[in-house]
Amino acid sequence: MPETSPFSEYRTLIPYAWRYRWFYVLGVLCLVVTSGGQLFIPQFVRHAVDAMVSGSFTVSQIGALMISLIGMALVIAVGRFGWRYFIHGASRRIEAELRDRLFDHLLVLSPRYYSGARTGDIMARATNDMQAIRMATGIALVAFIDGVFMTLAILIILFSQNVQLALITVVPLPFITVMIIFAGRIVSRLFREVQEGFSRVSEQTQESIAGVRVLKSFVKEDYFTGKFEETNLEYRRRNLRYIRVWGLFFPMVTFLSGLTTLLLLRYGGVRVISGEISAGDFVATMSYLAMLAWPMLGAGFTVNVLARGAASLGRINAILREPPEIISITGAARRAENLDISITGLTIRYPDSDEDALQNVSVSLPTGSMLGILGRTGSGKSTLIKTLPRLVDPAPGTVEFGGLDIRDYDVAYLRGRFGIVPQDTFLFSATIRENIAFGCDELAEEELLRVADISTISRDIETFSNGYDTLVGERGVTLSGGQKQRIAISRALAKAPDIMVLDDALSAVDTESEERILREILQYRKGRSTILISHRVSALQHADSIIVLDAGRVIQEGNHAELLRDTDGLYREIHDLQQLEQQKARGYSDG
CA distances from 215 to 47, 209, 211, 212, 222 (A): 74, 9, 6, 5, 10
Strands (E), 152-245: none
Cβ atoms of residues 556 and 570 within 8 Å: yes
Does the pTM exceed 0.85?
no
Q: What percent of the chain has pLDDT over 70?
A: 91
User: ∠556-562-566 over CA atoms, to 5°?
Assistant: 65
Residue 300's pLDDT band, with cuts at 50, 70 and 90, is low
d(CA 573, CA 373): 15
Distance CA 18, CA 81 (A): 22
Give residues with Cβ within 8 angstroms of 167, minimum separation 6.
Answer: 159
State the Cα–Cα distance between residues 145 and 348, nearest whole angstrom: 56
**Mind listing the domains of the chain with CATH numbers?**
8-320 (1.20.1560.10), 336-417+531-591 (3.40.50.300)
SS3 8: helix
Q: What is the average pLDDT value for the chain, to the nearest integer?
A: 81
Cα-based angle 523, 525, 527 (whole degrees, multiple of 5): 100
Of 62-71, 187-196, 301-310, 354-363, which one has max mean pLDDT? 354-363
Our CA angle for 523, 379, 214, nearest 5°, is 85
Q: What is the pLDDT of residues 337-372, one digit of tens each?
A: 788 889 898 898 887 778 888 889 899 989 888 899
The 8-class DSSP code of residue 327 comes to: -
Section 170-192 average pLDDT:
70
Terminal CA-CA length for the chain: 78
pLDDT tens, position by position, 245-294: 777 776 777 777 777 777 777 777 777 777 777 777 777 777 777 777 67
Q: Which residue has the higher pLDDT, 193 or 583?
A: 193
CA angle 103, 105, 110 (to 5 degrees): 115
Please tell me the predicted confidence (pLDDT) of residue 591: 53
* Range of lowest pLDDT (11-15, 158-162, 404-408, 495-499): 158-162
- Nearest residue to 511 (alpha-carbon basis) of 457, 576, 585: 585
| Beta carbons within 10 angstroms of residue 366's beta carbon | 14
CA 542 from centroid of its chain's CA atoms: 44
Kindly indicate the confidence band of residue 2, based on its pLDDT and cuts at 50, 70 and 90: very low
The C-alpha R_g of the chain, in whole angstroms, comes to: 36
Number of separate helices (H) and strands (E) present in the chain: 23, 10
Residue type, 284: A
- Contact yes or no for 224/267 (Cβ under 8 A): no
Please determine, for residue 125, whether its predicted confidence score (pLDDT) is greater than 80: yes
Whole-angstrom distance, CA of residue 567 vs CA of residue 555: 14
Confidence of residue 87 (pLDDT cuts 50, 70, 90): very high
**Residue 575 has what pLDDT?**
83
pLDDT, position 1: 38
**Residues 388, 373: Cα–Cα separation, whole Å:** 14
Question: Cα dihedral angle (230, 234, 236, 242), rounded to 10 degrees?
Answer: 180
Q: Please say whether the beta carbons of 63 and 38 come within 8 A.
A: no
- Span 31-53, average pLDDT: 80
pLDDT digits (tens, 9 = 90+) for 530-570: 888 888 888 888 888 988 888 889 888 888 888 888 878 88
